[in-house]
Structure 1
Amino acid sequence: MHLLHSCESGALATHSQQVPGYPFATVLPYAPTALHEPLFLMSGLAEHARNLKADRRASLLVAAPGTQDVLESARMTMVGEIEFLDRSEALAARYLRYRPEAESYLALGDMFFCVLRPRRIRFIGGFARMGWLDFAETPPALTITPEREASVIASAKIPPAVLLLGIDAYGIDMHRAGHRERISFSTPAGDDLEACVATALASIRGRA
């Protein structure tokens, strides 16, 4: 799940309606949700959107950024179904923290949010290091409401030149020095969420 949070885009494969029986892949930006699912903003005119309205089955491939040897790099394919979502202020706010350049797109009438609900995950940690995981078998975690996330972000002591993007039970996502970064908590957060975030942010100041 940390790999999903570390990447900014991936290759989304859908079932082609123009060429039936064949996959159609395209590169899309996304924002990870607090439940570790990729959230997309799509146009109804896009080819992949038309494909998904006919068949919601899809997969998303993400690969560790900044690696030169593809076979030795970490990558992950999430296989599942797309769910179309009603737009809400909380949904748009989280997406725009990760993808601020998308704000102008939200004014367009044919844009909509959707999320990939994974069934299974194929993770490859490098050459000959791989395996399948049922998403339902991932450890249960604290559910962080948008209201609590906003409250923690507002009260956090964020170092200069750091933009805090999102918080979940396993870590924080931030933007620093032109790149997205992920800092994992030492243990999954519970009632001590604020303390976990404070410790993670303190580690940034320690590296500065």
Structure 2
Amino acid sequence: MKTPDLPADNRQALRQVARSCRKAVLSTLAADDGSPYGSLVTVAFDLDLSPILLLSGLADHTRNLMAAPACSLLLDGTDGHPNPQTGPRVTLCGRAERVDEPRLRARFLARHPGAALYADFGDFSLWRIIPTRTHFVGGFGRAVWFDAPFGLAPTQIAQLAAAEAALLEDANARWGERLGDGWRIASLDPDGADLSNGQEFRRLIFHSPIDGPERVQTALAESLNHASG
């Protein structure tokens, strides 16, 4: 049975569910005895659906990742479902690595502006999870495994990354007044846009994934018209 409001295409659906989540359960292997350990983290996503985390070196999960980088994230999209088992969720598996990339830092802080208060502390560092496969559950009878890149073409992702800053500036110049009340487009990806207003967050979903930079403004127009209609 297809879950309402999700695309029929499972790869597109899992990306929509994942990208709409701002928090997740990070599962790591305890450094002392190898036992499974789950912890709450805030998360952002790169264009290719790689999760981006800002972690303290004092946290158990960070020490675990330094000893064993294999991990998974549970991304829960079941809010609003009286029976959570009927709602969508994604378990994304991969390997974590520490990174020092201004573009990824900007994407994380665009989604979690409050983290700017401690992002420069010496014990905090940026991590990216390189996804290998994911398990998507869209409700009863809809469960499937996929290997990366989850329907995203690497060449198209590279084109979007190269044009990311210019696309974001253009998008806010064109649509900022339309969003109104202090809202702005904080980040873009092939499946939609993150909108922010201070600490408030909204997710704008593209009806069809964009396949290159030239499609961004058209996709934004279509989605904004649909949302206001």
Q: Which runs of 5+ in 2 are unaligned?
A: 1-14
What does 1:60-139 align with in structure 2 at a 5 Å threshold? 60-64=73-77, 65-88=79-102, 90-136=103-149, 138-139=151-152
Distance apart, 1:138 and its partner CA: 2.5
Following the alignment from structure 2 to structure 1, what is the Cα–Cα distance between the partners of residues 149 and 165? 27
Kindly, what percent of the aligned residue pairs are identical? 28
State which of 187, 198, 219 in structure 2 corresponds to 1:166.
187
Of Structure 1 and Structure 2, the greater helix share is in: 2
CA deviations over 1:58-112 (Å, ceiling 9, x no partner): 0000111333321101001011100210142x22222111000000111201111
Contact 1:189/1:196 (CA < 8 Å) preserved in 2?
no
Give distance in 2, aligned partners of 1:71 and 1:129.
Answer: 11
Q: Please, which moves more after superposition, 169-178 or 9-18? A: 169-178
CA positional deviation for 1:192: 2.6
User: 2:177 matched to 1:154?
Assistant: no
Q: Cα distance, 1:151 vs. partner? A: 1.9
Q: Assess if the C-alpha contact under 8 Å between 2:46 and 2:104 holds in 1.
A: no
Match of 1:102, SS state, is helix
Change in Cα spacing, 1:132 to 1:188, as seen in structure 2 (3 Å) is same
| 1:162-186 CA distance string (max 9 Å, x none) | 3312211232222479443231242
Aligned AA (2:62): A
Query: Normalization by structure 1: what TM-score?
Result: 0.88
The structure where strand makes up a greater share of residues is 1
Look up the equivalent residue of 2:143 and give its one-letter code. M
CA distance in 1: counterparts of 2:119 and 2:150, whole angstroms: 35
CA displacement at 1:118 relative to structure 2: 1.2
1:184 maps to what in 2?
Answer: 206
Q: In the superposition, relative to structure 1, how do residues 137 and 172 fare at CA in structure 2: closer, same or farther (>3 Å)?
A: closer
Show structure 1 runs of 5+ residues with no match: none
Corresponding position of 2:38: 25
What is the alpha-carbon distance in structure 2 between the residues aligned to residue 30 and residue 7 of structure 1? 7
Q: Secondary structure at the match of 2:49?
A: coil
Measure how far apart 1:48 and its partner are. Answer: 0.2
CA distance in 2: counterparts of 1:32 and 1:166, whole angstroms? 10
Could you tell me which amino acid in structure 2 is paired with residue 8 of structure 1? R
Give the aligned residue type for 1:183: I
- C-alpha distance in structure 2 between counterparts of 1:98 and 1:32, whole Å: 9
CA distance in 2, matches of 1:129, 1:16: 32
Give the structure 1 partner of residue 11 of structure 2. Answer: none
SS at match of 2:165: helix
Contact 1:26–1:48, Cα closer than 8 Å, also in 2: yes
Paired residue type of 1:198: A
Against the structure 1 CA distance between its residues 91 and 187, is the aligned structure 2 distance closer, same or farther, given a 3 Å change threshold? Answer: closer
C-alpha distance 34-137 of structure 1, shift in aligned 2 (>3 A) = closer
